[in-house]
Structure 1
Amino acid sequence: MLETFHASRVEASWPIVVLGALGYMAAIGTGMVYIVAPTILSEHFVTNKGLAMGINYAGVTAALFVFPKLLEYLIAGYGLRGALLICGAVTMNGFAFSLFIRTPGWCKVAAEENEDFGDFPPKTIEVERSKKLRHAFAVFKSPMFYLIMYSFNAYSMSYDFYMSLFVDFACDRGVLVSTAVTVMAAGAVSEGLGRFMLPIAVDRNLLTSNVALTITLGVEAAAFLLLPFVHIHGFIFAVAAGIGFVIGTGIVIFPVTLEHYFGHRKMSVAFGIVVASAGFQSFLRPSLIGHFRDKGGAYDWLFVICGVVNVVSVAIWIGVLVWECCAKHRNVVVVENTPTGVFFLLAGIFQVVKWAMSFAT
């Protein structure tokens, strides 16, 4: 291989080093921070949980305006190696700030109640730990967990396809590449607004988290169903701004909704499983993009499928909201562990997947 590509051993080792550093180590660290951050925020912020998570995720949006040009400047001035070293040094500041985080008082009280394991025999300690583990994974018994998982997968699929294909889609409609890229960057503004508006409404009890999530998925479904039928450039940009808004809202509302249904102690496990389930889409995404581009010549039907999977999610959420409202008025306790809900939810998801596969073939 060294002779074929006329590379030295140092140059040939670079892809392996970059793959290990950015592909594995950085990905593991990013995944841990992505899951743990909402849990820490839910511990410290009770009344303004949505606003706190919005500010947390707004940092990603703000970085879109700073880091691309900063990285370009660093590469021009210090080369790729120097730029990576400086970016690593900047990231290390996050580690320093994480040392200042302390456990809130109410968590310390709960921990002190269970810390005297030394007075119990080893068998009792193992039983207690086993109970805690089963308690954490009890989310699998809840139909709401599968509904939230499906909703997050629908949201993530739409988000990933939009970020990957919008520039190409806009160019097919006659938009210049530079203009489409500018619209994508400007969409970060509406995305930033989305991270604050509905979460603040949830904090002020103007909306519940499940209602806010239903609105988010409904707007996303409407935007993706409308996108293939829009040809005027101004309307395309307006729909893109709406998609950016719901992208910003969804990433904040999902952790809040999980905490609403499963509580603080189960949120980390539930959110980790939900996010991990969406990661499996990356194995199918290139094939779907290639199929619709090569055979259909456009991404219109792919956006329609994104809209349909969100419509299914919205329909189920509306049914859940109506059922919860009726149960509340009748003073009926909502029982999460009914297997019937799981059956109907999985049946609905199966029908959507079956329809998409039949259309693709």
Structure 2
Amino acid sequence: MPRSEASLMRDPLFGVDSRWSWITAGFLGWVLCGVMMGRQAAGVVFYGIIETFGVTRKQASWPLVVSGSLLSIGAPFMGYLCRRFSCRAVLLVCPAVAAVSVCLCYLADGVLFLTIFFGLIHGMALSGAFVAVNVLVSQHFDKRRATACSVIFTLTGLNLLYIPPLAEMLRATYGIRGALLLLGGVMLNSCPAVIILRSPVWMERPDSSPAVEDVQLVKKSVSKAGPSLLGPDTLQEESASEEERTSQQSLWKAVVAKARSFQDLVASCVRTQSPRPAERDSQSFVHALKLFATVPFVVNALSFSVVIFGLTTFVLLHVDLGTDRGLPPERAVLLLNAFAVGDLVVRPLSGIIIDSGLLSLDVVMLLGYIIQGCAFELFVWLDSFPLMLACSTLVGVSNGSRVALQAPALAIDFGIDALPLLMGGLVFATGLVHFTRPFLFGYFRDLHGSYDGILHVVAGLNAAFVVLWTLKVIARKRQRSSCTAMEAVKEPVQC
């Protein structure tokens, strides 16, 4: 007898929040570590493109901006593929494509080639891997979802300790083309981890509904029971008159005839009332599209757009920003190491704090905006190397506290069923802001000679969302207070 969905989810070995869930989280972290290496070396790649091809900063930023934008803009399509096929199918393809596209950049003869392979192809592959990883971890966890997401992003953040120095060493030794070839080869190591990954059993949708399976059981039962019901041995055992036997025989014939047609009746009812798989997909897709227009989704999309914009701006500019202030490239790379220290310390703690109930997700988001806004504003005024390291650490703390909370935030507001499409929509929204960066870089650095304007912009955006999340925290507390009051009123009635 097949086990029920609730029984499967409670299984201590393979259910929700089980041992297998944590094993899956470890392999998901392995995959995400591999595919994100190219993005985490973006500062070195940006500096190497300027040095190798002699282009402006606006032109040099296009391959990296297109990659980051398509990582986000391609997410709705990748979310649909995860729902239509499976997250496993997407992961079997995307990490390999992401690595090979970086290797092919060895053949680059200009920025256009890099924009196509490092930007378009690599960005789409990153999008598929990112969405599939976030959906899978949310499917395998419930009570420990935020902690699991934090662990996965912490494993990915470990790359920041060694990937930028490694990429800079490869660039200095082999040039930017050779560095990309070798970096792509390292990224291929993420492919073996995909073999073990799949959605949990209770998330798999059967091809036929239980009602259709019941029809097949009725059909088999009727075909087996019919001959025995009409057999002469059965009728001879009855001590009755000839008329009674004749009447009984006619009655059994009618019953069996009705039973044989019963499966046709049930089948027609199932066809009429149960939507086909394609219809179910269409209905759920339309429902998810309606969720995109809700206030909670818009707030989450805009909020995480600011988080990712601050992250990608720092990762992309840290080398060039350091060299503008008199640091050699090999020392400017250390700014990202300081960022990584703050990020890695806070990433696992944020999930544990939320799941243990010490702070709510809303409060953690609010604190992250306060810290990041202050850190970017201090970067404008503090130009000594130790103070820049301290500011980089603060940026890392603010990023680590929030970047892993995308899937948990959506799951709190909307549940798990629509998460693949909603996650794709969220990442899509975060990608739209990336297209503003080449123009911002060109305007502030190429025309005004400084990145201070961009730092002011990021600080201002964080200040705006401090106000928004303060209002959200207040509204959530009032909602919980009203719910508690209603429960207190209902208790005497129930007694």
Using the TM superposition, give the Cα deviation of residue 102 of structure 1 relative to its aligned residue in structure 2, in angstroms: 3.8
Give the whole-Å Cα distance in 2 for the aligned partners of 1:53 and 1:181.
Answer: 27
Inter-CA distance 158–121: structure 2 relative to 1 (3 Å threshold): same
Q: 1:184 aligns with which of 307, 311, 336?
A: 336
The farther-off stretch of 113-122 and 164-173 is 113-122
User: In structure 2, what residue type is equivalent to 1:131?
Assistant: Q
Amino acid corresponding to residue 128 of structure 2 in structure 1? M
The superposition leaves residues 82-133 of structure 1 with CA deviations (integer Å, 9 ceiling, x where unpaired) of 9848945x6555444323224324435xx45974586425994255333211
Are 2:463 and 1:317 equivalent residues in the alignment?
no
Give 2:451's aligned residue: 299
What is the RMSD computed on CA atoms of the aligned residues? 3.6
1:220 to 2:372 alignment? yes
Residue 97 (1) aligns with residue 193 (2):
yes
Evaluate the alpha carbon distance shift between residue 191 and residue 134 of structure 1 in structure 2; reply closer, same or farther with a 3 A threshold: same
In the alignment, the residues of structure 1 paired with residue 179 and residue 374 of structure 2 have an alpha-carbon distance, to the nearest angstrom, of: 45
Deviations 1:54-89 (A, max 9, x none): 222233322344456767679979x9789848945x
What TM-score, normalized by structure 2, do the two folds share?
Answer: 0.56
2:292–2:425 Cα contact (<8 Å) kept: no
1-structure distance, mates of 2:388, 2:461 = 21
CA distances 1:25-52 after superposition (whole Å, capped 9, x unpaired): 4332211110111111111122322232
Post-superposition CA distance 1:244-289 (Å, at most 9, x none): 1222232212222122112122222222112122223332211111
Counterparts of 1:7-156 in structure 2, within 5 Å, are 22-67=118-163, 84=181, 87-88=184-185, 91=187, 94-108=190-204, 111=205, 115-116=209-210, 119-121=270-272, 124-125=275-276, 127-156=279-308
Contact 1:212 1:253 in 2 (8 A): no
**SS of equivalent residue, structure 2 residue 390:** helix
SS in 1 for 2:143: coil
| Alignment counterpart, residue 351 of structure 2, candidates 177, 199, 207 | 199
Deviation at 1:145, TM superposition (A): 0.9
C-alpha separation in 2, matches of 1:113 and 1:208: 40
Give the % identical residues: 21
Deviation at 1:318, TM superposition (A): 1.0
Question: What SS does structure 2 have at the residue aligned with 1:141?
Answer: coil
Structure 1: state its 5+ residue gaps: 1-10, 334-361
What is the aligned length? 319
Inter-partner Cα distance in structure 2 for 1:37 and 1:332? 36
How many Å separate the matches in 1 of 2:315 and 2:158? 17
The secondary structure found in structure 2 opposite 1:196 is: helix
TM-score, normalised on structure 1? 0.75
Larger radius of gyration: 2
Show structure 1 runs of 4+ deviating over 6 A. Answer: 16-19, 73-77, 79-83
Structure 2: distance between partners of 1:29 and 1:211: 33
Corresponding position of 1:279:
431
Matching residue of 1:255: 407
Which residue does 1:342 correspond to in 2?
A: none
